[in-house]
Structure 1
């Protein structure tokens, strides 16, 4: 597999040969072989570390509430990289081919869960002037609606998918600014900005070589900013 990848890259003087044509309306993007491998690797390498990250958060927890939010966020982090890797591996190898659509829907749906889980530690552990519990409820309701959309309208209205991701990801940030004590705002903002910029590449499949793999890298970097913020400004702050 590695030798075949090297041959493909070395024989491709034109970068356009490293990407497929743009997918049509209602069609799923079909990466080239090298893009497939890049998609698998860029999230696959974080599956085990993300599990270790969850265990470390649980280790840092000093209360039952800390443990609860650590598990919620940690499991979502692990599920994000695991489902993404599983889908891209199935797509590339053809293993469990009949389950490809299931994994594809799951890959997109888990993003909604991850967004909601990323806000959950802050909305539960931080002190707000108002609306934290209501926003937490709305975030998870929106995540469920996004998942239902994926199962009902998968690949039919792609612009709706992007709007839902951005609305769920950006709107709750308004109440985050209402925190009584603002530690962690910088890392949260930096992570959120990383995700938003990465959306450009998420929608550039078929236009930019390795666009989806680049999106994967933005996801990892954004998650790293948020993970650091949860550990330092939520789980460790009570111990200082």
Structure 2
């Protein structure tokens, strides 16, 4: 029992450090995105950058605070907020891709669909089904890979570099889900955090350098 408590404290320490690092990088990413999009003079670019950047900041900040807190009651509340922020980051990541990369009817339709799914995700997290972890993971994955519906117009409108980085980001998140769900692996949640950081990094590069 003592060993188990020590293990949990150790893993939570690294969980906090890893996403604390991500939170710092997210603030820097938000600033870079906003400055660069403001220079372009495009209101849609600024809006898209804000959605993506804030999604990053909220997700990593919420995760850091959740893992840092030790009080069980506070931790339970913070965990829910942490999970809600996952939906926000997914939709926030889609926003610049759809509005600046894809554009047109496809872009705005996908933008509406993904943010509509965020509302569904929020309702889900406050329903009795929220305890079903597998269902949550499936919903995250489906939202993340929803872009395949628009694969043809995406290939027609985005550069190869943008597509590669977006694809690698999605792959990193998806592989990470395996570790998140597999509690038999030691420090599985910390490993999940590393894949999340990698996914965010790939997506930031794709958006900042090849879409904005």
Query: What's the TM-score, normalizing by structure 2?
Result: 0.89
Give the equivalent residue in structure 2 for 1:59: 35
Structure 2 distance, partners of 1:85, 1:153, is 26
Give the equivalent residue in structure 2 for 1:219: 196
Give the equivalent residue in structure 2 for 1:12: none
Structure 2 residue aligned with 1:114, among 71, 85, 89? 89
Say if 1:155 and 1:181 are closer, same or farther in 2 by CA, change over 3 A.
Answer: closer
1:27-176 paired onto structure 2 within 5 Å: 32-61=8-37, 62=40, 63-90=42-69, 93-94=70-71, 97-127=72-102, 130-153=105-128, 155-176=130-151
Structure 2 distance, partners of 1:154, 1:146, is 11
Question: Higher relative CO (CA 8 A, sep ≥ 6), structure 1 or 2?
Answer: 1
Runs of 4+ in 1 over 4 A off after TM superposition: 17-20
Give the equivalent residue in structure 2 for 1:208: 185
Q: Is the 8 A contact 2:102 2:158 kept in 1?
A: no
| Greater Rg by CA | 1
Structure 2 distance, partners of 1:109, 1:153, is 15
Say if 1:154 and 1:100 are closer, same or farther in 2 by CA, change over 3 A.
Answer: farther
**Structure with the largest fraction of helix:** 2
Q: Is the 8 A contact 2:20 2:60 kept in 1?
A: yes
Structure 1 distance, partners of 2:103, 2:34, is 24
Q: Is the 8 A contact 1:80 1:107 kept in 2?
A: yes
Give the equivalent residue in structure 1 for 2:209: 232
Q: C-alpha offsets along residues 21-73 of structure 1, whole Å, 9 cap, x if unaligned?
A: xxxxxxxxxx7111111111110122122111100111111122211111110
Q: Which moved more, 1:129-138 or 1:102-111?
A: 129-138
Return 5+ residue gaps in structure 1 as ranges.
1-16, 21-30, 236-240
Structure 2 distance, partners of 1:104, 1:120, is 25
